[in-house]
Structure formats: C-alpha cells, structure tokens
C-alpha cells in the first residue's frame, strides 16, 4: 500500500493535531490547472472559502490567480496576500453594508449579486461614494449537481441566486440603477462534483439563458460558472491532481461564448484539497466486543467534514506497517458524531502512532472551531519542515 511520503520522524516531535500542507502538491496542481485553462483562455479566481492560510494564499497570488471572496474578511485576506483588486470578485447571498463598502473602496472587479434588494443596496452605497460598481447577476440555473444535499446550490429550492422567472423584472429595473454596470452572469451548481454531466447540463442551460439576454440586447462580457470540481478522496496518493482537462473540455465543447466574452471559474477544493492532511496521534486503542476504536487527538473541531456531511477521508497510519485491522477512528469530543471513519482498514495501530487524515486542504482548517474549548490546530507546511 502506498502511503504519503511525509517526514514522519519530524512529525513525531511536533505537537498534534496539526494541518500539514505539501506545497509541492499545491504548486503542481495549480500548474496543471493553469496549463489546461490556458488552452481556452479561461480566467480562474480561486475560491478563498476553501482555505485562506497565508502560505497557500501567497502561492495563489504568485501564480496569478484571482480571488473569489464571500465575506469582507476574505476580501481583506485577498488584499493582504497582495492579490490585485481588479482580480477580486465578491459573492454571497448576505453581503452586509460594510462588506459592500469595502469592495467599493477597493474598486473590486465585480459583485456577484443574488437578489433585487441587494442590487438596490449596492447601487445606493455606490451612489454615496460616487462610484460605479460592476455587477454580475447570479442566476439559479436549476441544474441538479447530484452531490450531497448540503453542498448543492443550483436548484430553485436553494437560497442562492436569482430565479430565471425574476430576471425579466430585474433587467427592466437595471437602467434605473445608475451606479451599477452589469458586466456578467454568474452560476454555481454545487461542490465535490466528480461526474462531468451536471457541468454539461449547466452549459446547455447557460446557452439558453445567453440567447435570452442577447434577444434583449444585453451582452454580458463574462460568464462565471462557479466552482465545484471534485477531488478523489479515496485515492489521494494515486490521484493527487483532479482531471482539469476533462473538466475544462466540457465547457470548451458545450458552452457557446459570444465574441469578446470570457469564461470565468471559481475552483476552491480542486486546487487546495489534496495538498493538506490533518496529522493526529493515537491516544488510545479501545478494543470493544464488536469493534476496535482508535481514539485520536484530533476531533471534529479540527476537521468537521465527516461529522457534518458524512464525508469520507482516506486515513493512514504513518507509523505502522503491520497487518491491516478495522477501526472506528474517533476524536475526543463529547459527541457521538465525532468520528472520522467507521470500520476503516488500517495498519494495526498503537498509542503514539502518527495518523494522517488525507485530502483535508479544502474546508478543513478554515472550518475549525474551539468547541469544548479545544485549541485550534497548528499548521506546518512542507517548507517550514525543510
């Protein structure tokens, strides 16, 4: 069995739990993504919500990607990382006034707007500053992403975006909102999508929507198709880089762009997911009558995905190459949902062994909490440990 090639003797001397970011994996992923995007001149804004660790953001900035932000805090993080303001977009269903003002003050490239009332508020705040705000309408495409119901967003029943049935009214209203400049349309159907057919459905839907806009003499200069490309949680060692080629090809093949239109993407997980692992230590091996429990020192406060979404993460015992045994891998938090995996086959484990919970670079560190008054996890990168 192939295991992650991590500096185990170094790990043994570090206080666990901690996130470990392999920056070579990150750089290789970005390189591949850029190479594939370049073939069709696609524009990529990294979705900061997946991970805002400064070491990661600095590589994102160096690689020339833009930033997709969903809060004032994320805009500040993008600015602190040195990402140019004209590469920052601001999305989110509940933008507060101070966050809109922050975006206006920095002349960010676009607000992705999710409701009629939000349009009015951005117009009002822009007018007060004597500025013109570029906006994209986030349209709910009513496309099923076939993913976990907590992370599907493109259905009419979700809170996100403007339904197509309300678009006519909004378009008629736009000319009266004089401090807004509509430059684009925006979509996002969900996250952790590994089957390409929902993206194809999205393209077909966008083609129809585009015809509607063009008939109304409206020519958006950019189409933003959001994020959502999934990663391989089962085989992080074999498939560390998602299939960006297949993903971008769907859009090259099925989405009809008009002259001078650019296509924008907002990937989060597919860029940072595989570069991160949560490293934890075995505290106790509890041998029950029906099951063996591995109690580790990380809990759902460090990585909430298994407890929250029932998400699968591959787990490796980096210290052992003994025969395989099945364990429920559980954390120390006083809730029965604090379990990382059930009946999971791992090398026979003992107190003190180092365990890696893989594919934790996206929605890991950033979703950590201090419930039970636990400490936030430490962070180390491959470069810190050189």
Give me 216's structure tokens: 């109304």
With binding defined as CB under 6 A, does residue 236 bind ligand LLP? no
Number of Cβ atoms within 10 Å of the Cβ of 195: 11
With binding defined as CB under 6 A, does residue 307 bind ligand LLP? no
Considering only the C-alpha atoms of the chain, give the largest distance between any 2 of them, rounded to a whole number of Å. Answer: 71
Give me 231's structure tokens: 């990663």
Size of the residue set binding ligand LLP (CB under 6 A): 23
Q: What gap in Å lies between CA 266 and CA 210, rounded to an integer? A: 20
Number of Cβ atoms within 10 Å of the Cβ of 245: 12
With binding defined as CB under 6 A, does residue 381 bind ligand LLP? no
Q: Measured from the CB atom, is 64 or 310 closer to ligand LLP? A: 310
Give the residue, chosen from 363, 374, 377, 381, that forms a contact with ligand LLP under the rule CB under 6 A: 363
Three-state DSSP state, 50: helix
Three-state DSSP state, 357: strand
Give the residue, chosen from 66, 154, 184, 267, that forms a contact with ligand LLP under the rule CB under 6 A: 267
Q: Measured from the CB atom, is 100 or 318 closer to ligand LLP? A: 100
Which segments within the chain are labelled E, that is strand?
18-21, 43-47, 66-69, 88-90, 110-113, 133-140, 162-163, 180-186, 222-224, 262-265, 276-287, 292-296, 315-317, 324-330, 339-347, 354-357, 378-381
Q: Measured from the CB atom, is 191 or 381 closer to ligand LLP? A: 191
Three-state DSSP state, 352: coil
Among candidate residues 340, 365, 331, the one with its CA nearest the CA of residue 21: 365
Q: Measured from the CB atom, is 109 or 354 closer to ligand LLP? A: 109
Residue nearest to ligand LLP (CB): 227
With binding defined as CB under 6 A, does residue 227 bind ligand LLP? yes
Residue 288 C-beta: closest distance to ligand LLP, Å: 30
Number of Cβ atoms within 10 Å of the Cβ of 213: 18
Bridge partners of residue 18, in order along the sequence? 279, 378
Give the residue, chosen from 192, 274, 317, 320, that forms a contact with ligand LLP under the rule CB under 6 A: 192
Name residues contacting ligand LLP, limited to 61-120 (CB under 6 A).
Answer: 68, 91
What does 7-27 look like in DSSP terms, one character per residue? -HHHHHTSPSSEEEE-HHHHH
Query: How does strand 162-163 pair with strand 180-186?
Result: unpaired
Give the residue, chosen from 309, 312, 371, 380, that forms a contact with ligand LLP under the rule CB under 6 A: 309
Residue 351 C-beta: closest distance to ligand LLP, Å: 30
Q: Measured from the CB atom, is 38 or 159 closer to ligand LLP? A: 159
Give the residue, chosen from 268, 276, 331, 361, that forms a contact with ligand LLP under the rule CB under 6 A: 268
Query: How does strand 262-265 pair with strand 43-47?
Result: parallel
Name residues contacting ligand LLP, limited to 37-56 (CB under 6 A).
Answer: 47, 49-50
Q: Measured from the CB atom, is 48 or 125 closer to ligand LLP? A: 48
Give the residue, chosen from 222, 264, 305, 374, that forms a contact with ligand LLP under the rule CB under 6 A: 305
With binding defined as CB under 6 A, does residue 302 bind ligand LLP? no
Give me 366's structure tokens: 């950033």
Q: Give the residues lining the site for ligand LLP (CB under 6 A).
A: 47, 49-50, 68, 91, 151, 153, 188, 191-192, 226-229, 266-270, 305, 309, 362-363
């Amino acid at each position: 069995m192939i295991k992650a090639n991590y500096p185990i003797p170094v790990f043994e001397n570090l206080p666990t739990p901690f996130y470990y970011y392999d920056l070579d994996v990150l750089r290789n992923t970005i390189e591949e993504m850029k190479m594939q995007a370049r073939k069709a001149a696609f524009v990529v804004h990294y979705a900061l919500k997946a991970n805002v660790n400064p070491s990661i953001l600095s590589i994102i900035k160096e690689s020339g990607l833009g930033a997709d932000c969903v809060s004032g805090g994320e805009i500040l993080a993008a600015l602190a990382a040195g990402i140019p303001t004209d590469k920052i977009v601001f999305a989110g269903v509940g933008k507060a006034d101070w966050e809109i003002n922050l975006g206006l003050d920095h002349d960010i490239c676009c607000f992705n707007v999710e409701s009629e009332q939000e349009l009015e508020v951005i117009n009002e705040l822009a007018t007060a500053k004597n500025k013109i705000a570029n906006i994209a309408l986030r349209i709910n495409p009513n496309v099923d992403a076939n993913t976990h119901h907590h992370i599907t967003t493109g259905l009419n029943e979700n809170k996100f975006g403007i339904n197509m049935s309300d678009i006519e009214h909004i378009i008629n209203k736009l000319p009266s909102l004089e401090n807004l400049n509509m430059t684009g349309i925006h979509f996002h159907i969900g996250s952790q999508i590994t089957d390409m057919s929902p993206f194809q459905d999205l393209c077909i839907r966008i083609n129809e929507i585009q015809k509607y806009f063009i008939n109304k003499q409206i020519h958006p200069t950019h189409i933003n198709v959001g994020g959502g490309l999934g990663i391989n949680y089962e085989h992080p060692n074999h498939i560390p880089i998602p299939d960006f080629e297949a993903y971008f090809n769907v859009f090259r093949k099925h989405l009809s762009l008009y002259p001078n239109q650019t296509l924008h993407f907002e990937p989060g997980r597919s860029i940072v997911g595989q570069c991160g692992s949560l490293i934890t230590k075995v505290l106790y091996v509890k041998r029950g009558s029906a099951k063996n429990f591995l109690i580790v020192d990380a809990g759902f406060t460090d990585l909430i995905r298994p407890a929250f979404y029932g998400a699968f993460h591959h787990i490796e015992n980096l210290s052992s190459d003994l025969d395989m045994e099945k364990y429920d891998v559980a954390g120390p938090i006083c809730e029965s949902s604090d379990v990382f995996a059930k009946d999971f086959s791992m090398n026979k484990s003992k107190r003190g062994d180092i365990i890696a919970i893989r594919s934790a670079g996206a929605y890991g560190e950033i979703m950590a909490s201090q419930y039970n008054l636990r400490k936030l996890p430490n962070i180390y990168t491959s470069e810190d440990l050189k």
